[in-house]
Amino acid sequence: MKVLGINFSNDAAAALIIDGRISGAVQEERLSRIKHDASFPTKAIKWVLKEAGLKLADLDAVAFFWNPGIHAEAPNGRMTAVPRDHMEYLYSVPAHLLRQLDGSEVERVEQTFHLKNTTQGFVKPLKIHYLTHHTCHAAAAFYLSGFDSAAILTVDGYGERTAAQISRARRDGAIEVLHRIEFPHSVGSFYAAFTQYLGFEPNDGEGKVMGLASYGKPLYYEQIRRLVTLTDRGFELDLSYFSYFVPRRRRFTQKLLELLGPERQPESELTQRHMDIAASFQAVTEDLLLHLAQMARQLTGETRLCMAGGVTLNCVANSRIRFETGFEQCYFMPASSDAGTSLGAALYVAHQIGDSQGRTDPPQLHPLIDYWGPGYSDEAIEAVLQLSGCTFERPADISEAAADLLAASKIVGWFQGRAEFGPRALGCRTILADPRPAEMKDIVNARVKFREWFRPFAPAVLEERAAEFFENGEIAPFMLVVYPTRPEHVHHLQAVTHVDGGARVQTVKRQDNPRYYDVIKAFGERTGVPVLMNTSFNIRGEPIVTSVEEALKCYFTTDMDALAVGPFLLKKPGKC
């Protein structure tokens, strides 16, 4: 069974499942070069089909991340790529008819297109499934977790009317929804409002708020905590402080200004007050998420937890959930934003809706791999390098050659294999640096990434050595948890240990990414520290690079010293 999954709200994406396995997945932004591209994922669809050697007519089904039977309008009104009258034609019958079914819940909506091949004379049905948003998040998390059963907690801004959902996944792969919390009582919207209050772009700058929080103290905790009431049904917000019903407008009211003082203007100076508000707000958010995770534990009775939805990118909260809620294992979906719903939608249809001939057993996917985007052969890379006219070499071992440069505190662009799916660079579209000197953080932020001074970097460590350098050093391949750096190693890891003593760790296993593992190992052999500083291969305001050409552009327009692209190495004259 061949299933295409798509979403086009925030972080539009496409994913293709063939016989229960992931063939490809990519965000539209990586191809369009528009960060958080929310348009219809035309380029992403074309890429996943081309990668598999298929045409649209070869598909058995299309899975969509949103259910118009529950909510006919797009999230934040942003589905602007499809004319509204076309959307109405597609949505009006299921949206209006199903609203007449008193006492019934709409789990999914289906439509069938009949594709006629004029030359061969056949007609083939192509079924479109409109799935519930949070079930798509849940499916992505569970089917990739490797667990045979689990509690699932999904938390974001909203999907249709749901802002958080607790589900149980059974051993047969079925997902049962147990509880929903409806918008506007939304953790994601709550966080977006404070992100905007602190002068950052909502639905983009939330990670900045999390990083900034480490520089503050929770002096405003009591004031902000009073805006939230925890209940046995979840939580309720005091909505008199918020105004996130209308998109592209200020998401908080005058009451919040009266409570906390004036908001910060974008790009203005960050004061200690802003840091303290960020710390206070982060602490309240952690209270909320811990409460929801504990509810999931109680409602399901499961010992393992899967999480997805944009709020799952809050790695500080994830760490507390992992160690304070009684779950024995946690899986945090790496593509937790709406991009991941394209993959979740396709997985759900393939494993829960497919007919008796097409339906497959729940996937036994390796839980540590998410390299499903575009990749380039050595021959294709060399052709681009030749055409560019740049000077390059092909060392005997690219990992050893890069490790020599990194041990000399050079900054190396690292472009290898297929691109990651999701917001984190995990060793394929990455910039690497020496984690030891404290000044390396400031150098890379200012001269390579061109971003705010307080933004932290992640340590990539050999999986088998993680516990040696980090407390609670469990497997953490996706940079979605924070572990304290062991005190005796802080001076070895100054560039990747945050001001609060924590680090957003990525553990690396050789079978997942051999070259990436080898460069970290080789660096460790030279320095005694099997850890590298890792950040995404892009600059502020741009998507992570996808193609060789984009890697070259980023390399030549920043203060990187060298570029390892496939087996080839470029070095800037006078710097290496």
pLDDT for position 117: 72
The three-point CA angle 113-118-119 to 5° equals: 135
Least confident window among 365-379, 402-416, 423-437, 553-567: 365-379
134 and 186 housed in the same domain: no
- Does some domain include residue 69? yes
pLDDT for position 113: 77
Give the pair of three-digit tokens for residue 45. 């669809």
What is the spatial distance between Cα 161 and Cα 133, in angstroms, rounded to a whole number? 9
End of a domain among 320, 353, 386?
A: 353
pLDDT for position 353: 81
Residue 86 has pLDDT above 50, yes or no: no
- Does some domain include residue 372? no
Least confident window among 84-98, 171-185, 332-346, 359-373: 84-98
Q: Are 423 and 335 in contact (CB under 8 A)?
A: yes
Average pLDDT over residues 364-389: 84
What is the spatial distance between Cα 468 and Cα 488, in angstroms, rounded to a whole number? 10
- DSSP letter string over 49-118? HHHHT--GGG-SEEEES--TTT--SPGGG---SS-HHHHHHHHHHHHHHHTTSTT----EEEEEEEEE-T
Give the pair of three-digit tokens for residue 36. 């958080």
Amino acid at 402: A
| Residues 14-24 pLDDT 10s | 999 998 889 99
393 and 304 housed in the same domain: no
Confirm whether pTM is higher than 0.85: yes
End of a domain among 332, 364, 394?
A: 332
- Does some domain include residue 532? yes
- Does some domain include residue 98? yes
Residue 200 has pLDDT above 90, yes or no: yes
Average pLDDT over residues 299-306: 97
Contacts of 97 (CB under 8 A, 6+ apart): none
List alpha helices for 113-244, DSSP H: 133-145, 187-197, 206-213, 221-225
| Residues 110-149 pLDDT 10s | 788 787 777 777 778 888 898 999 999 999 999 999 899 9
255 and 110 housed in the same domain: no
Q: How far apart are the first and last CA of the chain?
A: 51
Residue 267 has pLDDT above 60, yes or no: yes
Residue 41's domain comprises 2-144+338-353
Q: Are 26 and 14 in contact (CB under 8 A)?
A: yes
- Does some domain include residue 124? yes
- Does some domain include residue 286? yes
349 and 327 housed in the same domain: no
Average pLDDT over residues 515-537: 98
Per-residue three-class SS string for 389-440: CCCCECCCCHHHHHHHHHHCCCCEEEECCCCCCCCCCCCCEEEEECCCCCHH
> What are the C-alpha distances in Å from 13 to residues 347, 422, 542?
14, 10, 17
pLDDT for position 485: 97
300 and 447 housed in the same domain: no
393 and 506 housed in the same domain: yes
Least confident window among 1-10, 60-69, 212-221, 525-534: 60-69
181 and 197 housed in the same domain: yes
Residue 214 has pLDDT above 80, yes or no: yes
Q: What is the CA radius of gyration of the chain?
A: 23
437 and 454 housed in the same domain: yes
pLDDT for position 91: 53
List alpha helices for 7-55, DSSP H: 29-32, 42-52
16 and 163 housed in the same domain: no
Give the pair of three-digit tokens for residue 303. 């010992």
Average pLDDT of the residues of the chain: 90
| Residues 146-193 pLDDT 10s | 899 999 999 999 998 899 999 999 878 789 999 999 999 999 999 999
| Residues 37-71 pLDDT 10s | 999 999 999 999 999 999 988 999 999 998 876 65
Average pLDDT over residues 203-211: 93
Strand partners, 533: 433, 459
Contacts of 236 (CB under 8 A, 6+ apart): 185, 228, 229
DSSP 457: -
Residue 94 has pLDDT above 60, yes or no: no
| Residues 466-505 pLDDT 10s | 999 999 878 999 999 999 999 999 999 999 999 999 999 9
- Does some domain include residue 562? yes
317 and 348 housed in the same domain: no
Give the pair of three-digit tokens for residue 447. 């001269």
Average pLDDT over residues 513-540: 97
> Burial letters for 202-236: b for 16+ Cβ neighbours within 10 Å, e otherwise?
bbebbbbbbbbbbbbebebbeebbebbeeeeebbe
CATH number at residue 394: 3.90.870.20
- Does some domain include residue 359? no
Q: How many domains does the chain have?
A: 3
58 and 164 housed in the same domain: no
Burial class (CB in 10 A: 0-12, 13-18, 19+), 555: buried
What is the spatial distance between Cα 451 and Cα 434, in angstroms, rounded to a whole number? 19
Q: Are 440 and 551 in contact (CB under 8 A)?
A: no
400 and 457 housed in the same domain: yes
CATH number at residue 323: 3.30.420.40
